[in-house]
Chains A and B, each alone.
Chain A
Amino acid sequence: MTLFKTDASRHYFKCGLQKNSKLFIASIAFEVLSIPVLLLSVLLEESSGIAGILSVLLYSFFSFLFAGIAVILGIPIALNSFSYLHKKHESDTYLSFPLSNKQRFFCDYLSGLITYIVPALGSMILSVILSILIHIKEPDEYVFGVGDTDYTIISFVLKIYLFAIICMVMLYTLAVLSAVLCGTLYETLSSTLLINAGIPGMIALITHICFNKAPGVDTGYMMLPVLGKTSPLGAVISFAYYLDEGIKDCLSIPTFLWTLFWLLAVNALYILLSYKLYTKRKAEHTSKPYAFKLYNRILISCLTFAIISIIPAWPGFFAIPVLIFTAVVNLSFETITNRGFKNFSKSIVRCIVTIGVSVIIIFVLNNKWAFGASTRVPDVEDVESVTIDFYGYPAVDGYYYTRTVVEYTSEEGIEIITDIHRDFIENYEYRSGSFEYESQYGYGYYDRYDYTLVYKLKNGLTMKRTFTLSEDTVIGLHALNNTKDFAEYTCDRIIEKYADTNKLVFGVKLKNGYDGYTSFAIEARDGDARYLSEAEYDDFLEELCEAIKTDVDSRNSDDIITEENIYIRINIGGQYAYILKSDVNSIAVLEKYTDI
Chain B
Amino acid sequence: MIEIKNIYKQFDDNFLALKDFSLQIEKGSAFGLLGSNGAGKSTLLRLLSGVYKQDAGEIIVDGESVYDNPAIKQKIFFINDETIQFGNYTLEKLKDLYKGLYPNFSDELFERLNNKIKLPTYKKLNQFSKGMKRQAIVIIGLSCQTEYLLLDEAFDGIDPAMRIIVKRMLVDAMIDRELTVIISSHNLKEISEICDSIAFIHKGELLFAKSIESVKNEMHKLQVAFSEEISEDALAGLNIIKSDRNQSVRHYIIRGNADEIRAKFESLNPIILDIVQLTLEEIFIIEMEERGYGNDAV
Contacts and interface: CB of A to CB of B under 8 A. Distances in A.
Contacts of A288: 12
Contact of A101 (B68, B86, B97): B68
A92 B70 contact: no
A284 B52 CA distance: 7
A92 B80 contact: yes
A91 B74 contact: no
B52 A98 contact: no
B8 interface: no
A591 interface: no
B68 to A, nearest CB: 5
Contacts of B74: 8, 98
Contact of A91 (B51, B70, B77, B102): B51
B50 A8 contact: no
B102 A98 contact: yes
B214 interface: no
B52 A99 contact: no
B246 interface: no
A96 B70 contact: no
Given A101-B68, A103-B70, A283-B46, A89 B82 contact: yes
B51 A95 contact: yes
Contacts of B247: none
B248 interface: no
| Residue of A90, A98, A285, A288 with most partner-chain B CB within 10 A | A98
Interface stretch (A11-19, A421-429, A500-508): A11-19
A98 B85 contact: no
B101 A284 contact: no
Contacts of B84: 89
Interface string A77-102: 00000000001111111011111110
A7 interface: yes
Contact of A96 (B12, B71, B73): B73
Given A93-B80, A98-B102, A288-B12, A283 B51 contact: yes
B100 A14 contact: yes
Interface of A: 6-8, 10-12, 14-15, 87-93, 95-101, 103, 279, 282-285, 288
A488 B23 CA distance: 86
Which DSSP category, helix, strand, loop or mixed, fits chain A's interface? Answer: helix
A98 B101 contact: yes
A96 B47 CA distance: 10
A96 B100 contact: no
B206 to A, nearest CB: 21
Given A93-B80, A96-B50, A7 B100 contact: yes
B103 interface: yes
A12 B80 contact: no
B25 interface: no
Nearest to B144: A98
A103 B101 CA distance: 12
Contacts of A10: 100
B197 interface: no
B46 A92 contact: yes
B92 to A, nearest CB: 13
Contacts of A95: 50-51
B68 A96 contact: no
A99 B70 contact: yes
A97 B73 contact: yes
Nearest to B101: A8
A87 B82 CA distance: 11
A365 B85 CA distance: 51
A352 B46 CA distance: 40
B94 to A, nearest CB: 10
B68 A15 contact: no
B100 A90 contact: no
Contacts of B122: none
Contacts of B50: 95-96
A88 B51 CA distance: 12
Given A89-B84, A98-B70, 6 more contacts: A11-B101, A15-B100, A97-B101, A98-B71, A283-B46, A283-B52
Which 10 A-B residue pairs are closest in the complex by CB-CB distance?
A11-B100, A98-B74, A89-B82, A98-B73, A92-B80, A96-B49, A96-B78, A95-B51, A98-B70, A8-B101
A14 B85 CA distance: 19
Contacts of B80: 89, 92-93
Contacts of B76: 96
B103 A7 contact: yes
